Amino acid sequence: MPTATRLNRRLKSITAALLLTPLGLWLVAYGWPQQHLYYQDYQFDDAEARRLSSHSKAMLAYGDHAWRNLASDQAAGFYRRGVQRDVLNMDGWLKLARAEVARGRVEQSRAILSFVAATAGHTSRWQSSIALLAHELEAEDIFRQSINFLLIRKLDIDTALTLLDVHYGNVEQSLAALEAVNYSVYLTWLMRWGRLADARRTWEQLSAHQPTNESILLKYIDFLILNKNIDEAQAIWQAHTGTIGVTNGGFEQQPSGMGFDWRAHPSPDNYWKIRRTMAEGHDHTAGLKVVFLGKANVDFHHLYQIVPLPPGTDYQLTFKWRGVGLTTDQGPCIDLEGYDCMDFYQQGPMLLGSTDWREAHLEFTPPPDCKAVRLRVRRKASSRFDNKIQGTLWLDDFRIAPLFNQTDDG
């Protein structure tokens, strides 16, 4: 009996070995290429290519290897095998299209592009590649669709607009290709590159087709001011705000720091503080408060606005101010300098110590070539030993008017 049991066990072991051996051999045969697929450590030889021919990722990797070695025919063959085994691999299709272009098979590439655009045209991932290929193949409808898709979704904006610029070469055709909703992002891009004429044309189209967006309007006015296009900037500003002359002179609104409004720059070292107050202005209205903290000999020019004015006219600036505890021999003052000209400067008196509200005047005449002045709160550095300015300045009711509007009963 024991002998029979041992015999049965041995027969079972032999049977199991016979059954498992082919399985083990199959696993070795299957696992070896799987190891290369997992680690992507391909040998890139013919034998391996035949073994891995049923694996899409391997064929695409072989295609990339051939492409890098400038073998476009071989690359196209591998790419084609890859997408045949994974029809929805859009990266593979785009690579195949690129290889077909290199082989001179433009129509085949266009057919592939149409397939990819129809299949993945509403997917963000491939839009930049689709747009680039459409540019190369002059596929206008697909190119426009992809560029507008990217811009609407704020994807690869610089790439998309650079490609748009290269593709058409002029602003008129670029605007014709864009949907109206994308005019603002195009305008922002043109301003960033300092292209004044193209930005002006885009603004015209934007104004005609889209409601005015305050953010882009202020950016455009800033752009015009920076480029010394004062007349155009002032016309848009006046239409938008109804303001002629000083903007927000009574600080009724928080200074925006854009356009022809007040611009206030904070101190990085906490030497001064600038803030709008609600009840500390003249007659307990809104006003602006500048606090000098006594920490430095401040050369202060960090509060100003640019005021557009017809040149060659006599003007009077009036404003109200008061001070508390303003120290040193160099107190704050109001000055005017030419913004778009170099030969105009005028300075008013300083405010020192402590004073109640008072009205001050400054008469001036901009030269004929000066279309805007910079109205500025100024404090020049002191040369004395006790030069660290301290104290508080309040400002309100800035106005500029032509002198011929001032009546004189005498």
Tally of CB atoms within 10 A around 71: 16
Helix 90-102 and helix 72-85: axis angle, to 10°? 150
Domain presence at residue 75: yes
- 330 found inside a domain: yes
For residue 142, give its domain range: 46-241
H/E segment holding residue 273: strand 272-277
Q: Is residue 325 within 8 Å of residue 390, measured between CB atoms?
A: yes
**237 and 297 part of one domain:** no
Task: Specify the pLDDT at position 179.
Answer: 96
Residue range 357-378: mean pLDDT, rounded:
95
Integer angstrom CA distances of residue 47 from 42, 173, 203 = 11, 52, 62
Does residue 317 form part of some domain?
A: yes
The enclosing domain of 92 has a CATH number of 1.25.40.10
Give the model confidence (pLDDT) of 187-235 as tens digits.
Answer: 999 999 999 999 999 999 999 998 888 999 999 999 999 999 999 999 9
- Decide which of 182 and 66 is more confident: 182
- Cα 74-76-78 angle, rounded to 5 deg: 70
Average pLDDT of every residue of the chain = 89
Decide if 377 contacts 334 (C-beta within 8 A): yes
Q: Poorest-confidence range of 219-233, 370-384, 394-408?
A: 394-408
Look at residue 11 in the predicted model and tell me its pLDDT.
64
- Residue 234 is encoded by which pair of tokens? 């002032």
Cα 100 to chain centroid, rounded = 36
In a domain, 254, yes or no: no
Higher pLDDT: 22 or 28? It is 22
pLDDT at 404 (0 to 100): 74
Residue 364: CATH number of its domain: 2.60.120.260
Residue 199 covered by a domain: yes
Say if residue 274 is in the same domain as residue 187.
no
User: What does the angle CA 55 – CA 59 – CA 64 come to, to the nearest 5 degrees?
Assistant: 150
235 shares a domain with 277: no
Answer whether 321's CB lies under 8 Å from 373's CB: no
The answer to the question of residue 389 being in a domain is: yes
> Across the beta sheet with 353-364, what order do the strands follow?
272-277, 287-293, 390-402, 315-326, 353-364
Given a contact cutoff of 8 angstroms between Cβ atoms, the answer to whether 37 and 52 are in contact is yes
From residue 357, give the alpha-carbon distance in Å to each of 188, 272, 319, 387. 44, 21, 10, 25
Task: Read off the pLDDT of residues 256-311 as tens digits, 9 standing for 90 and up.
Answer: 999 999 999 999 999 999 999 998 999 889 999 999 999 999 999 999 999 999 99
Q: Count structural domains, the chain.
A: 2
Q: Any bridge partners for residue 353, and if so which?
A: 326
Residue 286 sits in the same domain as residue 228: no
pLDDT at 410: 37
Largest Cα span, the chain: 146
**Which pLDDT score, from 0 to 100, does residue 13 have?**
67
Angle between helices 214-226 and 196-209 in degrees, nearest 10: 160
Structure confidence at residue 22 (pLDDT): 62
**pLDDT for 43:** 64
- 198 and 137: one domain? yes
| Residue 19, both tokens | 């059954």
Residues 402 and 315: their CA atoms lie apart, in Å, by 4
Mark whether 322 and 378 lie in a shared domain. yes
Q: For strands 372-379 and 300-308, give the pairing.
A: antiparallel
Residues 228, 270, single domain; the answer is: no
- Is residue 3, in this structure, part of any structural domain at all? no
Classify residue 379 as exposed, middle or buried by CB count within 10 Å of its CB (0-12, 13-18, 19+). buried
Q: Are residues 286 and 223 in the same domain?
A: no
Please check whether residue 388 lies inside any domain of the structure: yes
- Say which amino acid occupies 272: W
Q: How many Å apart are CA 328 and CA 78, to the nearest integer?
A: 81
E-assigned strands of 296-344?
A: 300-308, 315-326, 333-338
pLDDT band at 122 (very low <50, low <70, confident <90, very high): confident
pTM: 0.80
Same domain for 230 and 282?
no
Residues 60 and 205 placed together within one structural domain of the fold:
yes
According to the model, what pLDDT value does residue 210 have? 86
Do 80 and 198 sit in the same domain of this protein? Answer: yes
Among 241, 276, 300, residue at a domain's last position: 241
**Is 359 in contact with 393 (CB distance < 8 Å)?**
no
Rounded to 5°, angle at Cα 374 from 295 and 406: 115
Q: Does 237 lie in the same domain as 267? A: no
54-63 pLDDT tens trace: 788 888 888 8
